[in-house]
């Protein structure tokens, strides 16, 4: 079994220095997020992750889930762990206090979710869905619906799901066929109005069926009889596994059946279900929000999920890095290439050290970007000045595809590199690192593939507003580069960061100049995403180095740790940042070749 130790020192440094926890704690509604409270929350979460969830991770991988009739059986230990997780109040950490949550900022919950995903991603996928569903219902549900459902969802007493995909409608939700027909007879309280019968099938539903909770609340996209075609005809329905009785407790079983679970490459402990609605008269559901506006509401849940999948990238990368580092310190192999000494651990080999330093540098770059983005979420929601709140909202919108797409791609790379550090033992299941690689492979796919994220970045986030928000971001990157100019210890980092800002500016100019060349532009969308991800990672690493040097100069903290952060930034800017130039080149030139390339040549 791979041990896990929450990287609390790294987490707290980034929270304080890059994401500006103190500033977030001063926002209206965020005052409870004091440094002492946050430190206590992280410490307790780290203990739970390492002591309860991590030991179950290989159990879930080995046992998986099984379907017995229509009943899904989860791995041993799942029920007890979920009960402890729920009773500790972890699900409601950042959810509304009026429904039983603790109302802490997203910035505080983000490192906690990193721990859950690092320790046991298959398990953590279950409570993650409650968070996203709460956000969606808070925006679109009626007051009666909120009163009926939200307290149980926020507490985790009832589980939640998101139902989008159908056999013929994967990422193309316009092809959705699930239909909702008005219920002819009004239902008894608590939902007397807006009742519908749903018919159809949904696939790839994480935790769509299980017995870990006494009820499961599904949010389902479906079409009303008068729905216009395409995504503008999708409405959102709340469909419980069990209908509620007069006391608001689970009563008769709804017309929903789990007819299959997927046999997957990884995340075996998370049941991925095919759900059939309406085989016996129709599954009773309740309209959430306005008719035909379901996709807009569901996007709230999807954005929450996409951000959390980005967190999965850094989480699995962290677990893989910890495993690789521990192995490299213990495994004795080969001869030192300088001294010829034998009996040294493989960490002494330059290439192994290169891989480990590269892994840690990319981890810190991702963590810096994701935690900063979590702070922007809080600023967008709570900042008292509308102009400032709007800026951070636009930053979140712009970089959501990067947070999801780039961080998951890098997370996959880190798990792959960890296997390389292990060598042949990494290819052997009992070492545990292979599970991380298998689990990580899906994160670039679900909640929108990397290509879909890249198309969103290019079309909806950059071209639609003529790169206005991107230019603001570039200006912030230049401002950080300016702080490096002439710096006594970090001056050599200034030019690489200036170069990246210029590269982004020139790429934006090229995109806008070629707006009409649609095929060429979208052929380069993924390179564009990687370009922006690497540049934002460099920006965060430069900020990290500046903060570390400031602390070191003030005599505040472990000088070896702080020097190590500065050197990590230097390594990133000298080895990772140059890759952005190749992505920029591909963006400009690959599309023209692809547009001419005949499919007959494949």
Query: Residue 218 is part of a domain; what is its CATH number?
Result: 2.40.110.20
Q: Is 179 left (phi over 0), alpha (psi -120 to 50) or beta?
A: beta
What's the mean per-residue pLDDT of the chain?
94
Look at residue 365 and tell me whether its pLDDT is greater than 70: yes
Per-residue confidence (pLDDT) for residue 335, from 0 to 100: 87
- Give the pLDDT band of residue 190 (cuts 50, 70, 90): very low
Pick the catalytic residue from 447, 465, 488, 549: 447
Look at residue 589 and tell me whether its pLDDT is greater than 80: yes
Per-residue confidence (pLDDT) for residue 343, from 0 to 100: 87
Per-residue confidence (pLDDT) for residue 73, from 0 to 100: 97
Q: What is the pLDDT of residues 492-526, one digit of tens each?
A: 999 999 999 999 999 999 999 999 988 889 999 99
Tell whether 76 is covered by a domain: no
- Give the pLDDT band of residue 78 (cuts 50, 70, 90): very high
Q: How many percent of the chain have pLDDT more than 70? A: 98
310, 404 Cβ separation under 8 angstroms: yes
Mean pLDDT of 407-415: 98
Look at residue 187 and tell me whether its pLDDT is greater than 60: no
Tell whether 140 is covered by a domain: no
Q: What is the pLDDT of residues 556-576, one digit of tens each?
A: 999 999 999 999 999 999 999
Q: Does residue 472 carry a catalytic annotation?
A: no
Per-residue confidence (pLDDT) for residue 231, from 0 to 100: 87
Tell whether 548 is covered by a domain: yes
Q: What is the pLDDT of residues 132-160, one digit of tens each?
A: 999 999 999 999 999 999 999 999 999 99
104, 41 Cβ separation under 8 angstroms: yes
Into how many domains does the chain fold? 2
Q: Is 200 left (phi over 0), alpha (psi -120 to 50) or beta?
A: left
- Give the pLDDT band of residue 185 (cuts 50, 70, 90): low
**Of 235, 264, 294, which closes a domain?**
294
**Of 294, 314, 329, which closes a domain?**
294
What's 75's DSSP letter?
A: P
18, 547 Cβ separation under 8 angstroms: yes
What's the domain range around 258? Answer: 159-294
**Of 237, 267, 294, which closes a domain?**
294
Tell whether 573 is covered by a domain: yes
90, 48 Cβ separation under 8 angstroms: yes
Mean pLDDT of 35-62: 97
Tell whether 564 is covered by a domain: yes
Tell whether 219 is covered by a domain: yes
Per-residue confidence (pLDDT) for residue 182, from 0 to 100: 93
Look at residue 582 and tell me whether its pLDDT is greater than 70: yes
Q: What is the pLDDT of residues 465-490, one digit of tens each?
A: 999 999 999 999 999 999 999 999 99
Counted residue by residue, the chain has a size of 602
Look at residue 196 and tell me whether its pLDDT is greater than 90: yes
Tell whether 471 is covered by a domain: yes
Tell whether 196 is covered by a domain: yes
Mean pLDDT of 7-18: 98
């Amino acid at each position: 079994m791979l041990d896990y130790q929450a990287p609390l020192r790294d987490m707290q440094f980034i929270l304080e220095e890059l994401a500006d926890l103190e500033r977030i704690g001063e926002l209206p509604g965020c005052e409870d997020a004091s440094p002492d409270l946050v430190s206590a929350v992280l410490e307790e979460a780290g203990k739970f992750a390492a002591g309860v969830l991590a030991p179950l991770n290989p159990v879930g991988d080995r046992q998986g889930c099984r379907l017995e009739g229509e009943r899904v059986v989860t791995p041993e230990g799942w029920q007890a762990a979920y009960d402890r997780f729920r009773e500790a109040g972890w699900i409601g950490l950042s959810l509304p206090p009026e429904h039983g949550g603790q109302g802490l900022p997203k910035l505080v919950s983000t490192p906690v979710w990193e721990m859950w995903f690092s320790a046991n991603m298959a398990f953590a996928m279950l409570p993650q869905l409650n968070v996203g569903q709460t956000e969606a219902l808070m925006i679109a549900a009626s007051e009666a619906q909120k009163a009926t459902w939200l307290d149980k969802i926020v507490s985790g007493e009832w589980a939640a799901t998101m139902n989008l995909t159908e056999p013929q409608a994967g990422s193309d939700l316009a092809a959705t066929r699930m239909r909702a027909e008005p219920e002819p007879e009004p239902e008894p309280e608590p939902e007397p109005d807006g009742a519908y019968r749903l018919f159809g099938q949904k696939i790839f539903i994480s935790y769509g069926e299980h017995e870990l909770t006494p009820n499961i609340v599904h949010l389902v996209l479906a079409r009303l009889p008068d729905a216009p075609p395409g995504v503008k005809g999708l409405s959102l329905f709340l469909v419980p596994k069990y209908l509620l009785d007069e006391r608001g407790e689970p009563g008769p079983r709804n017309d929903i059946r789990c007819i299959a679970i997927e046999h997957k490459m990884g995340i075996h402990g998370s049941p991925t279900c095919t759900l059939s609605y309406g085989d016996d008269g129709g599954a009773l559901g309740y309209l959430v929000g306005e008719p035909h506006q379901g996709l807009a509401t569901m996007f709230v849940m999807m954005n929450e999920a996409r951000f959390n999948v980005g967190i999965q990238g850094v989480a699995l990368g962290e677990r893989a890095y910890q495993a690789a580092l521990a192995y490299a310190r213990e495994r004795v192999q080969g001869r030192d290439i300088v001294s010829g000494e034998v009996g040294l651990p493989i960490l002494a080999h330059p290439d192994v050290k290169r891989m480990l330093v590269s892994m840690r540098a990319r981890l810190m770059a991702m963590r810096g970007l994701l935690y900063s983005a979590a702070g922007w979420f809080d600023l967008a929601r709570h900042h008292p000045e509308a102009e400032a709140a709007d800026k951070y909202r636009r930053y979140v919108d712009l970089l959501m595809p990067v947070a999801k797409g780039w961080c998951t791609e890098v997370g996959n790379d880190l798990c792959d590199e960890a296997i390389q550090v292990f060598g042949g033992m990494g290819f052997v299941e009992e070492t545990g690192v292979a599970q991380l690689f298998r689990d990580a492979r899906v994160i670039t796919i679900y909640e929108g593939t990397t290509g879909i994220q890249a198309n969103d970045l290019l079309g909806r986030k950059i071209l639609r507003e003529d790169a206005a928000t991107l230019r603001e971001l570039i200006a912030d990157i230049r401002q950080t580069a300016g702080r490096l100019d002439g710096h006594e210890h970090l001056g050599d980092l200034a030019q690489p960061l200036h170069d990246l800002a210029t590269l982004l500016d020139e790429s934006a100019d090229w995109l806008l100049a070629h707006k009409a060349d649609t095929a060429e532009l979208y052929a380069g969308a993924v390179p564009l995403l990687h370009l922006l991800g690497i540049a934002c990672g460099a920006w965060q690493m430069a900020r990290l180095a500046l903060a570390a040097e400031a602390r070191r100069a003030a005599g505040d903290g472990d000088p070896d740790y702080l020097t190590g952060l500065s050197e990590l930034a230097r390594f990133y800017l000298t080895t990772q940042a140059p890759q952005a130039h190749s992505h920029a080149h591909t963006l400009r030139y690959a599309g023209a070749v692809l547009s001419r390339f005949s499919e007959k040549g494949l």
